[in-house]
Structure 1
Amino acid sequence: MTLKEIAALANVSPSTVSRVLRKDGEKYASKEVRDRIWKIVQETQYSPNVNAQKLKMNSKEETEQKKYKIACIYGRGKEFFDDQFFYEIFKGIEQEIYKNGGVICSSFALSPHNQTMTFEALKNENVDGVIVLGRCGREIQNQLVKKLKNIVFVSLNPSDVEADQIFCDGKRSAETVVEFLYQQNHKKIAYIGELDNEQRYLGYCNKMKELKLPLKREWIQKTELTISSAYENAKQMLENDSSMSAIFCCNDNVAIGTFKAVTERKLKIPEDISIIGIDDTEMSQFTTPMLTSIRIPKNEMGVVAAQTLLNRIEKRHKLPMKIELPFRLTIRDSCCRYSDRKEK
């Protein structure tokens, strides 16, 4: 695949492709065009010919450019291409690595059953560094740190592992959700999402206790973070007790599944039940009504993770780095103030 062929597929000029693949792409192409080009680059596994760039550019900066081989590991044991949240982080990683003369040479979905195979594959690939997306167990984290010399973890669940970490605080974002709903006069707040070692669930429980709100077992539902699983589990929760006034969903996939379960019971959103999520993925703007969600800076997390890994590879820092990025509440139409008239 050549630059000209990518340009033809994207229906743009080769110079536009070249600029997008460099750091000044935002000046010359819209976000839609840039995303289209990067999607083609990813699908075709196009890799820049750094040696050719050196000859053509004949500059000190290009001459000193180095090729990095980077691998990405998805800690949840499923393909991150199926997860909009982590896919957006991955795009940020891929683009930043590419701009710095590197390539994502492989990606793996890590589970307790394929650890040995994953480590062997990374060894055979002879990668310069690894970025781990999402939460994985402490034992697996320790194994990764022990076996890999350059590694960065990216998640909403920071840990005390001795390695570079890029995170957006899931616990504080959950506390912000509960506080927002409380300010909207909601006191019967349910939670649906992961429970085990999950900072968002911990934040929910802590804030509910702080505000002296009821933590009913019937209003806490465990689910995988997929739309289909959330739909089934939200149905079960509503069958057990549908008297809550708001549901806190620990990500947007869960919120969308919950939307379907709530509307199937002939309940209106937000008049009967307010729903709020975390992630603020693109699809949150296309629900009916539009989803209120905590915006996590996904692309920025990917970019910073890539920069931190490259700095680690080049020995620009030695101490483990913990970099926290801010979140922001995005208020849309799926939440409203709870009326005293609805108290039961």
Structure 2
Amino acid sequence: MTTLKDVAKLANVSVSTISRFLNNDPTLSIPEETQQHILEAVQTTGYQKKGKKQDKILTIGLLHWYSIEQELNDPYYINVRKGIESYLGKRKVKIIRVFKDDLDQSILQGIDGLIALGKFSSREMKELTTRYPVVIFLDMETETIEYNTIALDFSNAITQALSHLQELGHHKIGLLAGYEVLEDGSVYRDQRIKAFLNKAKQEGLEYNPYVLIDRYSKESGYSMMKTLFKGNSLPSALVCCSDPIAIGAMKAIQEEGLRIPEDIALIGFDDIQDASFTNPPLTTIHAPMEEMGAYGAMMLLNELDKKIHLPFRLVLPCKLKIRKST
């Protein structure tokens, strides 16, 4: 018969830690990685608490759209993942992580549900929802509500950014955006670009030729800003669709000897940790990244408990965080 000692040995923790964890001791504080080791050890050994039948340990797959390298260059998805792992770890749910470019995804066989993090084509979404019992797509929007999706309210966020710049007296406002290519070769429709153009036209802003689209990276932000310098005129303010883009643009602006925000005001998007450490600190749209991850995990567990399943679309609010770059 399997004992706590067997579980403790496999998980490389003490027997008392195993006991407190399995008995939901509220005073116990251990890293999420250790929690996962314990859950895997319990499942591997088949340990059951004496006097009662052991509850089934749920296993959730986490499929990353980004590669490991891309995730390291842009912390947006790292923060979403932290929210997922924190929520599931506290509820003793085992997580199996897979990146989309991994050749072997067979380890996802037998999972209870899947969180797909990032941008997926229609073909992939259909395939995943056919293959796994319950799937929730995070950071995805679809034209119709066919799948379980959670995304951010980009349209209102862009409206906040433009309204703030207009209140400061800006009329010539540009946009530095990025594009994301799906598995089928199509480009994901970023609602921020559409929202910016609609609002700029509605308000009669001067935005041409100050709208550029490249990649979501510091390098792209730097390159797009250099392109603007080659034009006949410059905008007095820029909205950037990610903080890395804004940080790259900031470097290019300062290399030209211009001041921020006196010569060009900048607004980023995401509110990553680096945004508050730029010079000057970056005004940005706070995206609830960790909260989106936690909501995704919560909704997945709720879906597993339900007897009636209907697809849903959940949109989370963003908020302007004013610092010194505007």
> What TM-score do you get using the length of structure 2 for normalisation?
0.80
- The structure 2 residue matched to 1:209, chosen from 201, 206, 226, is 201
Distance in structure 2 (CA, Å) of the matches to 1:242 and 1:250: 21
Higher relative contact order (CA 8 A, sep 6+): 2
Q: Is the 2:57–2:94 contact (alpha carbons within 8 Å) kept by the matching residues of 1? A: no
Structure with a larger share of its residues in helix: 1
2:214 aligns to what?
223
Distance in structure 2 (CA, Å) of the matches to 1:122 and 1:331: 46
Q: In structure 2, do the counterparts of structure 1 residues 159 and 87 end up closer, same or farther at CA, with 3 Å as the change threshold? A: farther
The percentage of aligned residue pairs carrying the same residue is 27
Deviation at 1:156, TM superposition (A): 6.1
Report how many residues are paired: 304
Matched, 1:259 2:243: no
Deviation at 1:319, TM superposition (A): 0.7
1:339 aligns to what?
none
Deviation at 1:236, TM superposition (A): 1.7
- The structure 1 residue matched to 2:118, chosen from 119, 134, 157, is 134
Matched, 1:154 2:145: no
- The structure 2 residue matched to 1:300, chosen from 268, 271, 291, is 291
Q: In structure 2, do the counterparts of structure 1 residues 132 and 189 end up closer, same or farther at CA, with 3 Å as the change threshold? A: same
1:188 aligns to what?
172
Structure 2: runs of 5 or more not aligned: 1-9, 180-186
Distance in structure 2 (CA, Å) of the matches to 1:135 and 1:261: 29
Deviation at 1:310, TM superposition (A): 1.8
Structure 1: runs of 5 or more not aligned: 6-13, 336-344
1:74 aligns to what?
65
Q: Is the 1:168–1:296 contact (alpha carbons within 8 Å) kept by the matching residues of 2? A: yes
Distance in structure 2 (CA, Å) of the matches to 1:229 and 1:302: 27
Deviation at 1:324, TM superposition (A): 2.0
Q: In structure 2, do the counterparts of structure 1 residues 101 and 125 end up closer, same or farther at CA, with 3 Å as the change threshold? A: same
2:266 aligns to what?
275
Q: Is the 1:157–1:170 contact (alpha carbons within 8 Å) kept by the matching residues of 2? A: no
Distance in structure 2 (CA, Å) of the matches to 1:74 and 1:59: 43
Q: In structure 2, do the counterparts of structure 1 residues 300 and 50 end up closer, same or farther at CA, with 3 Å as the change threshold? A: farther
One-letter amino acid of the structure 2 residue matched with residue 270 of structure 1: P
Q: In structure 2, do the counterparts of structure 1 residues 259 and 235 end up closer, same or farther at CA, with 3 Å as the change threshold? A: same
Deviation at 1:77, TM superposition (A): 9.5
Deviation at 1:135, TM superposition (A): 2.6
One-letter amino acid of the structure 2 residue matched with residue 225 of structure 1: Y
Q: Is the 2:96–2:108 contact (alpha carbons within 8 Å) kept by the matching residues of 1? A: no
Distance in structure 2 (CA, Å) of the matches to 1:211 and 1:59: 69
266-275 or 135-144: bigger deviation: 135-144
Distance in structure 1 (CA, Å) of the matches to 2:166 and 2:228: 21
Q: Deviations over 1:1-26 (max 9, x none)?
A: 74649xxxxxxxx96xx77xx7957x
Q: In structure 2, do the counterparts of structure 1 residues 171 and 79 end up closer, same or farther at CA, with 3 Å as the change threshold? A: same
298-307 or 132-141: bigger deviation: 132-141
One-letter amino acid of the structure 2 residue matched with residue 137 of structure 1: S
Matched, 1:107 2:91: no
Distance in structure 1 (CA, Å) of the matches to 2:128 and 2:231: 42
307-316 or 175-184: bigger deviation: 307-316
Q: Is the 1:69–1:129 contact (alpha carbons within 8 Å) kept by the matching residues of 2? A: yes
One-letter amino acid of the structure 2 residue matched with residue 201 of structure 1: I
Q: Is the 2:98–2:105 contact (alpha carbons within 8 Å) kept by the matching residues of 1? A: no
Distance in structure 1 (CA, Å) of the matches to 2:147 and 2:64: 15
Q: Secondary structure at the match of 1:46?
A: helix
Deviation at 1:229, TM superposition (A): 2.3
Task: Output the aligned Cα RMSD.
Answer: 3.3
Distance in structure 2 (CA, Å) of the matches to 1:159 and 1:3: 48
Q: Is the 1:227–1:254 contact (alpha carbons within 8 Å) kept by the matching residues of 2? A: yes
Q: In structure 2, do the counterparts of structure 1 residues 127 and 240 end up closer, same or farther at CA, with 3 Å as the change threshold? A: farther
Distance in structure 1 (CA, Å) of the matches to 2:279 and 2:142: 33
1:200 aligns to what?
192
1:172 aligns to what?
156
Deviation at 1:186, TM superposition (A): 0.8
Distance in structure 2 (CA, Å) of the matches to 1:303 and 1:64: 23
191-200 or 260-269: bigger deviation: 191-200
Deviation at 1:306, TM superposition (A): 0.6
> What TM-score do you get using the length of structure 1 for normalisation?
0.77
